[in-house]
Amino acid sequence: MMEISGLPEELWQLILSYLHLPDLGRCSLVCRAWYELILSLDKTRWRQLCLGCIEYRHPNWPNQPDVEPQSWRETFKQHYLASKTWTKNTQDLESSNCFYLFRRRKDRRLLCVGTGCEFDSLRAALATASPYDRIVLLPGVYEEYNEVVLKVPVEIVGQGKLGDVALLVSFDQHCPTTRLCNVVFMPARFTPVLYKTTSGYVQFDNCNFENGQLQIHAPGTCQVKFCTFSQSSIHFHSVALCILENCEFTGSENASVTVEGCPTSDWNWACKHLTRLAKSYSVSMQVSDPAFCSMTKQERWRNSPVGTVKAHEIVVEEERNNLLSASRAQAMFDSASKDAEFRENLRTAKEEEYPALDSNSSDSDLHSEDEESDQAVYKLSYQAHSLRHMLTNVMHSRLQSNRLHALQRDLKLKSLQQELQQDKEAQSLANSLQGCIIRQCLFRDGKGGIFIYSRGQAKLEGSIFRDLTYAVRCIQNSKVIMLKNDIHHCKASGIFLRLSAGGLIANNNIHSNCEAGVDIRKGANPLVLCNKIHSGLRSGIVVVGNGKGIIRSNQIYGNKEAGIYILYNGNPAVSGNYIFQGLAAGIAVNENGRGQITENVICENQWGGADIRHGGDPVLKNNMIACGYSDGVVVGECGKGLIEGNTIYGNKGCGVWMMSSSLPHVTNNQISHNSIYGVAVFCHKDDASDYPANQGGNENFHEEREGASWENDLDSEDEYLASRHPISVALVELNSINHNGASGLYIKSSEALNIIANVIHANRNNGVAVLQSTQLTCIANNSISCNSLGGVLVEAECQVELRGNGIYDNSSHGIVSKGDGIIVENDIIGNHRCGLQLLQAADMKVTKNRIQSFRDYGIALFDQAKGLVQENLIFQGRSKKSILQPISNTEDCIVQNNILLTLKKRFDVECMLMNPPARPHIEGTAPGSSMATSSQKISKVTRVDRGCHNQGSIFCAIL
């Protein structure tokens, strides 16, 4: 051999490109320099050898034939090794460890079949073949009129291009192993079965199957590679392990691949070789998908639509990457089709609709400059009450609690690798190798892709399913593992699971299907992780008829109906998903659906972020529901559920919209900067027509209606009920409702309602407006402050109970009532108009309140107002006005035993709300809410009758 340095490398590459495979192998053994030179031929000679072999096709056929492999030489090597798998079934003798030294090498004959050859028919060649002989078929059509039984291991190879050799034969394999390559299978006249094996291993390379079936029965196995199935199918029966890779299935009349029966424990000899092949591929599948998580943390923030952080945004005040806002979700949605538009919409929503407010903007906007200096003397300190920690947060528009720190940390879209590290069950499923493994295949233009039933198991990796009726159906306790598949334009649902089916559906791109992307029914319980589910003509995911499942870390967007739709006792666990830009609701829970819906980002949906109706009873907890084009949370007719710890921000409708026929428990939510009401409760008859009748959509679930009568899982039912606090009246408690575009709470209800311990602050209308309340509305222990109109408005014929509230610094009257009920033990302080007005036919019992107004009367009684006003403590402002009561209604409205106080010193101002402390009083919520010390108690008061407001001021001694 010549020295390699004698010629330029480019010239050597040109010379070596003419060598055949054996010569290239010999050259690579000369020395390291020659070895590296042979390796440098990867994109030239090695590529020619790989693509020129009739046994193989392009390594990325049929899905990505334009994408080259990393190494053509390595690809060619793997093809060659795989083609020899069928010969590896020799049984090792256990009698002697050294007996292999005397093993005789197999002598393989070459048998030619065709015109002018030794054999004119395939049957004749098979009759004389010895084990492992190679039968070569010349171009032509070979037909057999009876079933051909393979009794010895042989290799059958067609000569010429694929399509030159056609077999009209039905094979029945009775030998341990066989290989068929480069032939076209067509059905014989007497049966549609093209090939069947019940015990042996068969390997198909680069074949076409037309209008027929392959049947593989356990313990038989197979490997099918680079094959085309036209109106053909494969049936697997209880197989332990089979591999289909780089195949194309078109025009199927039923399912292209059917997997039936539990994988057998009786493994064929070839399973260990197939396992090694499958594991080598699984390692490459573990590399993260750049489409899902290509952006670094810094890049996500650099591309974030937030820009500069304004004071009204929901922010944890630490560093910039701690931003807790719906806008942070979209920073990772760079692969969505409307990414730029979404960012612009978010920016517009924040900069135009909600102008920047400084930390005390709501307060400063309510006071004019000429009032501030005078009012400072009379303004009482009320921020020591037990909801101070919530009030401070909303005044600064910041969320400081530990719960929201945790929410900010957890609301990140996790990669599949992170999910697998945390979830051992998912990791086990992803690594499992049982049943049928299908990878890098194409299923198109037919009825069904893969059908798995009767405890069958299949694993699908890197395949494409398009233009089918359905992609995958998995039923009857079967299991499917789907990784990195593309499923789109199905005429029904993309993935359909029912009858206790399960498995893992992860890292798939599921889009543009006519029904749901993933349909989970009748006890099915899969893991659905890290998928993109988008652009569907119906819902993204549907959970129906006692369906369960864990739905986590998915991107669900752009679907025509609900992103996730739960009904008929569906009960999934939905967490950590980004659900955005849907054309209906983000999550809809209907028809007795349930579910644990936690820590999701739900934004930019056309209808409600979460929509609950008709017996829907989910746990909706710690979600970010933001920037929707309608309401944040909708609780429609007969809706229920626990709505807790959510951030409901910047929606163009209401924060929470409820019907009076619903029974939700709304607690501990941050409801702010929504365009209309913070929380609205509407009478079903009067206002139901103002909103869509069913924000969830109109999915067709007629065959699952019987699911409502199924027996629930008793263990899960007990656990579900134990985690819930039962309520008999709709309850709104411990929420922060602030900076909304209309009233904080708007009530037109036909049923009882409890509003307990909320902070209702800086809303652009009344804090609480009760316009209709035929049953009692209980408003207790709330802090209602700095709202643009009054604190509480009660219209005629409404029944309310106002007890223990703190009503502070509202721009109009503290309380205006035209209805009936009681007002007891409230602090009504610092409001710009009257502390309390009773108008028209109001009939209220007003007792034991502390009332102060800067410019106006503490209590004003007009028209035909009647009731009892007694034992109230009234602090007189600069105007010295206390109680206004026209002479005409003195008989119907009794005013007696009220205490009038004139304050002269700042010390007096500070002490007035110490015994008891400023309301509301909520036990155990904050320090400093206990009773004042005995030295600060009011030891002596002067009581006056109802007419003393005309006799001058009455003083109180504070000892």
SS (HEC) of 388-453: HHHHHHHHCCECCCHHHHHHHHHCCCCCHHHHHHHCHHHHHHHHCCCEEEEECCEEEEEEEEEEEE
Provide the pLDDT confidence category of residue 853 given band limits of 50, 70 and 90. confident
Residue 862, pLDDT score:
85
Residue 97, pLDDT score:
53
Burial class (CB in 10 A: 0-12, 13-18, 19+), 334: middle
DSSP letter at 628?
Answer: -
Which pairing describes strands 759-761 and 783-785: parallel, antiparallel, or unpaired? parallel
pLDDT tens, residue by residue, 98-113: 544 444 445 789 999 9
Residue 721, pLDDT score:
54
Residue 210, pLDDT score:
96
Provide the pLDDT confidence category of residue 183 given band limits of 50, 70 and 90. very high
Q: What's this model's pTM, rounded to 2 decimal places?
A: 0.83
Q: Average of pLDDT values for 911-920?
A: 83
Q: Which residues pair with 106 in a beta bridge?
A: none
Distance of alpha carbon 775 from alpha carbon 752, whole angstroms: 5
Q: Quote helix, strand, coil % in the chain, to nearest 5.
A: 20, 30, 45
In the predicted model, is pLDDT for residue 402 greater than 60?
Answer: no
In the predicted model, is pLDDT for residue 846 greater than 80?
Answer: yes
Q: Please indicate whether residue 665 or residue 350 has the higher confidence score (pLDDT).
A: 665
Q: With the C-alpha atoms ordered 26, 30, 36, 41, is the resulting torsion angle positive or negative?
A: negative
- On whether the CB atoms of residues 259 and 435 are closer than 8 A, the answer is yes
Q: Please indicate whether residue 584 or residue 956 has the higher confidence score (pLDDT).
A: 584
Distance of alpha carbon 509 from alpha carbon 504, whole angstroms: 14
In the predicted model, is pLDDT for residue 320 greater than 60?
Answer: no
Q: Average of pLDDT values for 192-219?
A: 96
Helices (H) and strands (E) in the chain, counts: 20, 73
Provide the pLDDT confidence category of residue 370 given band limits of 50, 70 and 90. very low
Provide the pLDDT confidence category of residue 22 given band limits of 50, 70 and 90. confident
Residue 417, pLDDT score:
94
Q: Please indicate whether residue 279 or residue 16 has the higher confidence score (pLDDT).
A: 279
Distance of alpha carbon 847 from alpha carbon 860, whole angstroms: 14
Q: Which residues pair with 894 in a beta bridge?
A: 868
The mean of the pLDDT values for the chain is 80
pLDDT tens, residue by residue, 57-95: 888 899 988 888 888 888 878 777 777 888 887 554 344
Distance of alpha carbon 853 from alpha carbon 859, whole angstroms: 9
pLDDT tens, residue by residue, 435-482: 999 999 999 999 999 999 999 999 999 999 999 999 999 999 999 999
Distance of alpha carbon 663 from alpha carbon 639, whole angstroms: 6
Residue 18, pLDDT score:
76
In the predicted model, is pLDDT for residue 704 greater than 70?
Answer: no
Residue 5, pLDDT score:
61
In the predicted model, is pLDDT for residue 220 greater than 80?
Answer: yes
